[in-house]
Chain A
Amino acid sequence: MNGPASRPVSGVPVVPAIVETLGCWLLGLLWILPLAYAVWTAFHPAEFEVRFDLAAPLTLANFVTAWKSAPFARYFLNTFLLITITLCSQFVICTLAGYAFARLQFRGKTFAFYIVLMQLMIMPEILMVENYRTMNALGLVDTVVAVGLPYMASAFGIFLLRQTFLTVPRELDDAARVEGAGPLQTLWRVYVPIARPVYIAYGLVSVSYHWNNLLWPLVITNSVTTRPITVGLQVFASPDQGVQWSVITAATLMTSAPLLIGFLLFQRQFVQSFMRAGIR
């Protein structure tokens, strides 16, 4: 503080630097605290919910109780089915549309593109009342397909793939055509392989979105055989069920575990994917 006025940036005094580092660590600690606390509660008997004793016995009993008191296996299967169906459809639909917008000429292209982009603002859950009516008319209420259907044509996916396809060199395109490949073959053999990192990025973002989505699935599903894991957890943990906190926390961690473990293992890819998906 008392140093010369023109002290360069690199010459920060020693004591404040340590204070600053500690401040940053404190923020990091504060941010991890809720999750750390949840882990503590889930792995200890109920009487240690609010007592912090390092000698407290570790237990998996809360997880066992949670697993036995609700059909979580079925909920996991539903979520798995939902994500598989949704992601595969998104990949196909967005690839075809993204290619058309990037490389084909047709009238009304700009207009069509803006119409597609509207979905970035109007997410399907905002229109849940009308969408419920539509699903009802189609006889799809309380099916896994209905949970994913409104999200399958994703404006975000179309936009992301269009941007990527625009960067593919024309020479590759021409080379494929000289070899006699049609547009669809070119798309499959040239464009799709080049866009692989974008598919991974979009896939990770989409999987976490649908794993975590609650409102629309809550509206459209109504039975054990269709509910994704979030809705299952919501039904299990609602206060009128009178379930113990440690068991609810165990169930909560259990339902988030696949994404959480995936993130911890592939942290770098996760962060880079979210970055890539964010830079439009």
Chain B
Amino acid sequence: MHAAVSNPAVAGPAGSRTPVLAWLLLAPAVVLLAAFTHVPALMTLVNSLYSTPAANRPARFIGSDQFRDMLSDPVFMSALKNNAVYALGTVPASIALAILMALIVNSSIRGRTWLRMSFFLPTVLPMIAVANIWLFFYTPSYGLVDQILGIFGVHGRNWLGNPDTVLACLMALAIWKEAGFFMIFYLAALQQISPNLKEAAAIEGAGRFYFFRRVTFPLLMPTTLFVLINALINAFRVVDHVIVMTKGGPDNASALLLYYVYNVGFKYWDTGYAAALTVVLLAIMGILAFAQFTIFDRKVHYQ
């Protein structure tokens, strides 16, 4: 990043004009980014401290009241807990499967083109399409899941209607959809690993699992960090399946944070509280951003 900054002046005689030109070139991007990312982020912070305006009474400053309300709001607490469970459940599973898939597709197994297609296909589908298809799987007694379990004598579970199983159902779908996407990054990383390492290990008599644990996995570490952060962001950003399949129910057992923001903002039109909820999401994203910058700086030193 700093290499470009420290380069000598580029335009030679015209050098004095380049700052003007540079800002002209940046203007459209800067204006749009400010209008739809930075200003709204700041306005969200400001509005979270104000009450929701209504027709006969304007917004008034209420300080941290809405954040205090949040702590006693059972829906928020369950959305926060659900989102944590969702992230901790889907992210490691997707990453483990992605590594396994990449190893399979990168090996000399027969039919690997077919396997790569099969693993990657869910990534190309819209989340709403996936949710529609899986909604049918989970239909009580009629759907595919119950049909298959029926063979083993388990009957008539209402998978999406039961607070104990609904979140797991959404997580299964998310893992199915995301693992193939992350596989791509691992595949790219695996292809960078020198085949000499494998030969050397073979001569030393190292087993395959030993080789994976001591050579491949450490070499994949930068990819894993990159995928980890992106998977975590996605876990807080994608709620399409909640909208299609459960609407957060039953009893808020499948409500995720962004879905709750959507509900408060556009169903109840309580924009002040929605802003306060968004601040929580922004804080989570901020922590992830901070983690990414510090971790990635360390990664650069390693190389």
Using a CB–CB distance below 8 Å, which chain A residues touch chain B? 6-10, 12, 21, 24-25, 27-29, 31-32, 34-35, 37-38, 41, 50, 92-94, 96-97, 99-107, 109-110, 112-113, 115-116, 118-119, 121-134, 149-150, 152-153, 155, 158, 166, 173, 177, 183, 208, 211-212, 214-215, 218-219, 230, 233-234, 237, 245, 248-249, 252-253, 255-256, 259-260, 263-264, 267, 270-271, 274-275, 278-280
Does the CB pair B29–A275 fall under 8 Å? no
Q: Which of B23, B44, B124, B176 contacts A259 (CB 8 A)?
A: B124
Does the CB pair B202–A234 fall under 8 Å? no
Residues of B within 8 A of A230 (CB): 126, 128
Residues of B within 8 A of A153 (CB): 28-33, 36
Does the CB pair A106–B23 fall under 8 Å? yes
B137 at the interface (CB under 8 A from A): yes
- Chain B interface, >50% SS class: helix
Does the CB pair A150–B120 fall under 8 Å? no
Residues of A within 8 A of B286 (CB): 121
Does the CB pair A121–B278 fall under 8 Å? no
B165 at the interface (CB under 8 A from A): no
B129 at the interface (CB under 8 A from A): yes
Additional A-B contact list (8), CB under 8 Å, known A129-B274, A150-B36, A278-B185: A9-B207, A97-B25, A118-B37, A131-B40, A153-B36, A219-B266, A248-B132, A260-B124
Q: Which of B15, B32, B188, B205 contacts A279 (CB 8 A)?
A: B188
Does the CB pair A105–B9 fall under 8 Å? yes
Categorize the interface residue count of chain B. 35 or more
* Shortest Cβ distance from residue B236 to the other chain A in the assembled complex, whole angstroms: 8
Residues of B within 8 A of A166 (CB): 3-4
Does the CB pair A6–B205 fall under 8 Å? yes
B190-219 contacts to A, CB under 8 A, are: 198, 201-203, 205-208, 211
Q: What per-residue 1/0 map shows which CB atoms of B232-251 lie under 8 Å from chain A?
A: 01000101100110000000
Residues of B within 8 A of A218 (CB): 243
Q: Roughly how many angstroms separate A173 CA and B10 CA in the complex, as a whole number?
A: 10
Enumerate 17 A-B pairs (CB-CB under 8 Å) in ascending A order: A9-B211, A31-B119, A34-B176, A97-B26, A107-B19, A121-B292, A122-B282, A126-B282, A127-B278, A128-B261, A149-B36, A173-B10, A237-B132, A252-B132, A259-B126, A267-B117, A274-B181
Does the CB pair A214–B128 fall under 8 Å? yes
Q: What per-residue 1/0 map shows which CB atoms of B109-127 lie under 8 Å from chain A?
A: 1110111111111111111
Residues of A within 8 A of B5 (CB): 109-110
Does the CB pair A214–B132 fall under 8 Å? no
With A9-B208, A106-B19, A133-B271 as contacts: A96 and B240 at CB distance below 8 Å: no
* Shortest Cβ distance from residue B271 to the other chain A in the assembled complex, whole angstroms: 6
Q: Which of A7, A128, A150, A252 contacts B262 (CB 8 A)?
A: A128
B288 at the interface (CB under 8 A from A): yes
Does the CB pair B122–A278 fall under 8 Å? no
Q: Roughly how many angstroms separate A256 CA and B253 CA in the complex, as a whole number?
A: 29
Residues of A within 8 A of B134 (CB): 34
Does the CB pair A121–B26 fall under 8 Å? no
Residue of B nearest to A151 (CB): B36
B274-299 contacts to A, CB under 8 A, are: 274-275, 278, 281-282, 285-286, 288-289, 292
Residues of B within 8 A of A208 (CB): 124
Residues of B within 8 A of A130 (CB): 39-41, 43-44, 47, 275, 278
Q: What per-residue 1/0 map shows which CB atoms of B12-23 lie under 8 Å from chain A?
A: 100100110111
Residues of B within 8 A of A234 (CB): 128, 243-244
State the 8 A-B residue pairs at the shortest beta-carbon distance, nearest first. A130-B40, A153-B32, A212-B126, A150-B36, A97-B29, A104-B22, A106-B19, A6-B205
With A105-B15, A121-B285, A230-B126 as contacts: A134 and B35 at CB distance below 8 Å: yes
* Shortest Cβ distance from residue A203 to the other chain B in the assembled complex, whole angstroms: 15
Q: Which of A92, A126, A274, A279 contacts B258 (CB 8 A)?
A: A126
* Shortest Cβ distance from residue B156 to the other chain A in the assembled complex, whole angstroms: 14
Residue of A nearest to B198 (CB): A9
Does the CB pair A28–B36 fall under 8 Å? no
Residues of B within 8 A of A211 (CB): 126
Does the CB pair B40–A275 fall under 8 Å? no
Q: Roughly how many angstroms separate A35 CA and B12 CA in the complex, as a whole number?
A: 58
B174 at the interface (CB under 8 A from A): no
Residues of A within 8 A of B4 (CB): 101-103, 166
Does the CB pair A35–B122 fall under 8 Å? yes
B187 at the interface (CB under 8 A from A): yes
Residues of B within 8 A of A94 (CB): 29
Q: Roughly how many angstroms separate A279 CA and B271 CA in the complex, as a whole number?
A: 38
* Shortest Cβ distance from residue B178 to the other chain A in the assembled complex, whole angstroms: 12
* Shortest Cβ distance from residue A127 to the other chain B in the assembled complex, whole angstroms: 4
